[in-house]
Amino acid sequence: MGILEGKKVLVTGVLTEASIAFATARLAQEQGATVVLSNFGRALSLCQRIAKRLPQEAPVVELDVTDTEHLSTLADRLRDALGLGEGDHLDGVVHSIGFAPQEAMGEGFPEVAWEHAATAFHVSTWSYAALTQACRPLFGSSASVVGLTFDATVAWPVYGWMGAAKAALESTSRYLARELGARHIRVNLIEAGPIRTMAAKSIPGFSQFEDAWDGRAPLGWDNTDSEPVARSTVALLSDWFPATTGELIHVDGGFHAMGV
Ligand SMILES: NC(=O)c1ccc[n+]([C@@H]2O[C@H](COP(=O)([O-])OP(=O)(O)OC[C@H]3O[C@@H](n4cnc5c(N)ncnc54)[C@H](O)[C@@H]3O)[C@@H](O)[C@H]2O)c1
């Protein structure tokens, strides 16, 4: 028996096999979950291709988190994709989505135009609440929502407005936890160390993060392995964190707790 036996979970954001979402979907299936994936635009066909590499091929629904119609029809489309009948529910949602235009990252933080910062907030922050709301009609007596962040308590080189969007994501998670706790919907974030995914490669100077982790994370850190992050995400989706919400769990090899 796996820790997600019988659970139905939406995992957003599978783009390549390096995606944090891919390792999460794989482990969720290995732990007994029925998984549905989502992505959008050109990433949709990549996601459909990668879905075949999971232990069981997962259905894929289209979801651009900036598309109002995609959001308003999501619950019905998930119901179809998962074959949910009367009394069936969605038990978990993984928000593994982030994007900021190149103009919003790198140096020159104060010069960035609102439209670029706004895109980062729309896709990476507001979407956490919008996705949760879109899935709400499918939740039963309890559910778990998990998102992914990168330490937003400090300012990093080159991360720019993506860092500000992550800080707002961390706040958004707490507000969601506050509002949805009465319905036993837990809302938590995993704060991951740097992993070489497509999103990471789009950050100019990402290697500076990797260099920072070198030698400082007491447990060590492998930036090509998303499994530790995926394992913790699966644990949060399970019934083994029943009284945890509004929490931010560090999965960074212990980096955040060290001075230098
Ligand atoms: N890679 C890291 O070092 C790292 C560290 C901490 C947190 N994270 C976070 O993990 C999450 C997953 O990123 P990843 O590193 O696995 O990279 P990734 O590139 O594999 O995944 C990002 C996903 O976001 C999707 N996406 C972008 N815009 C979207 C939109 N409008 N609608 C729907 N989906 C959209 C992309 O298609 C892609 O699948 C992100 O929130 C990221 O910020 C990553």
List the chain pLDDT tens, one digit each, 260 residues: 899 999 999 999 999 999 999 999 999 999 999 999 999 999 999 999 999 999 999 999 999 999 999 999 999 999 999 999 999 999 999 999 999 999 999 999 999 999 999 999 999 999 999 999 999 999 999 999 999 999 999 999 999 999 999 999 999 999 999 999 999 999 999 999 999 999 999 998 999 999 999 999 999 999 999 999 999 999 999 999 999 999 999 999 999 999 98
How many whole angstroms separate alpha carbon 33 and alpha carbon 118? 35
Q: Which amino acid is at 102?
A: Q
How many whole angstroms separate alpha carbon 173 and alpha carbon 189? 7
Looking at the CA of residue 198, tell me the nearest atom of ligand 1: 19
**Alpha helices (H) in 83-159, listed in sequence order:** 114-121, 127-135
Q: Which two tokens stand for residue 104?
A: 């919003």
What pLDDT shows up at residue 40?
A: 98
Question: What does DSSP assign to residue 181?
Answer: G
Residues near ligand 1 (Cβ within 6 A): 13, 15-16, 19-21, 39-40, 43, 63-66, 96-99, 123, 148-150, 192, 194-195, 197-200
What pLDDT shows up at residue 1?
A: 87
Looking at the CA of residue 64, tell me the nearest atom of ligand 1: 32
Looking at the CA of residue 223, tell me the nearest atom of ligand 1: 3
Name the residue with the closest Cα to ligand 1, atom 9: 148
What pLDDT shows up at residue 70?
A: 98
What pLDDT shows up at residue 63?
A: 98
pTM higher than 0.85, yes or no? yes
CA-to-CA dists, residue 1 to 6, 104, 130, 165, angstroms:
10, 45, 33, 38
CA-to-CA dists, residue 35 to 56, 99, 158, angstroms:
9, 23, 35
The neighbouring-strand residues paired with 37 are 11, 60
What pLDDT shows up at residue 78?
A: 98
Compute the distance from residue 98 Cα to the ligand 1 centre, in Å. 4
Q: Torsion angle, CA of 155/159/161/163, rounded to 10 degrees?
A: -50
